[in-house]
Amino acid sequence: MYNEKVLDHFNNPRNVGELENPDGVGEVGNPVCGDIMRMEIAVEDGRIKDIRFRTFGCGAAIATSSMVTELVKGKTLEEALAVTNRMVAEALGGLPPVKMHCSNLAADALHKAIDDYLSRAGAAAADLGAGERAPAAAAAGCPDPSADPCPGCCGKIGRERGDGPPPGGETPPAG
């Protein structure tokens, strides 16, 4: 089901953990869906000097989290914002189709961490070329991002149950 590269990142994930004083933190997913990714970044001179992640989820969720940290470490924020979920999957040599939407959200978590940094720093995302970003759902290979609920989306569960926000709270349903 998974290729060697995915299994390697699952078994030996890069940059797991957290930073002492992160400059930006981003989290996507929710425990009800079975996937949650948290990225922390340290920024220096407009570059991602260091990055750590923690992920609750399946093999693909862990591997994509690990891969995105490798892809953007040392890169400028502009370069990091241009990384899409699809690029992460490609860097891993591909993911099973069913995993493309639900478990392939690592770039979204990274972008949130950068947005968090930018809002703390008072900078405007537009100044950093964020306009080049593809919409998250489309980048993840969502079958029909305009549909509500999105047919590939975990957020559906929370909505269908109709019992308010999922446990763990502030995190909006992924996608």
Partner 1 sequence: MTEKTAGQGAAHEAAAGRRRVYLDHAATTPVRPEVAEAVTRHMLSEYGNPSSVHSLGRAAAAAVEEARERVARLMGARVEEVVFLSGGTEADNMAIRGVVTASGKSRPHVVTTKIEHHAVLHTCEELEREGLAEVTYLPVDGTGLVDPGDVARAIRPETVLVSVMFANNEVGTIQPVKEIGRVCREKAVPFHTDAVQAYGAVPIDVDEFGIDLLSVSAHKVYGPKGVGALFIRKGMNVRPLVFGGGHERRRRAGTTNVPGVVGFGVAADLAAREIEERAAHLVPLRDTLVRGVLERVPFARLNGHPTRRLPNNVNLSFEYVEGESILLSLDMKGIAASSGSACTSGSLEPSHVLLAMGLPHEVAHGSVRMTLGTGTTAADIEYVIETLPPIIERLRAMSPLYAAAVAQRGRAGRP
Binding site for partner 1 (CB under 8 A): 2, 7, 10-11, 13, 16, 27, 31-38, 54-59, 61-62, 98, 102-103, 153-154, 156-157, 166-168
Least spacing, CB of residue 3 vs partner 1, in Å: 13
Cβ–Cβ < 8 Å for 84, 139: yes
Of 56 and 86, nearer to partner 1 (C-beta) is 56
What are the angstrom distances between the C-alpha of 174 and each of 1, 12, 52, 91, 140? Answer: 24, 25, 20, 22, 11
Cα–Cα dist 171/37, whole Å: 10
| Residue 44 or 160 having the CB closest to partner 1 | 160
Residue 105 in contact with residue 33, Cβ under 8 Å?
A: no
**Residue 47, beta-bridge partner list:** 44, 76
Is residue 33 annotated as part of the catalytic site, yes or no? yes
The answer to whether 53 and 16 are in contact (CB under 8 A) is yes
Catalytic residue among 33, 142, 150, 154: 33
Active-site residue, selected from the candidate residues 58, 102, 150, 154 = 102
Clarify whether 58 is annotated catalytic: no
Q: Least separation, in Å, of the C-beta of 137 and partner 1?
A: 15
- Closer to partner 1 at the Cβ: 38 or 111? 38
Q: What residues are annotated to the active site?
A: 33, 102
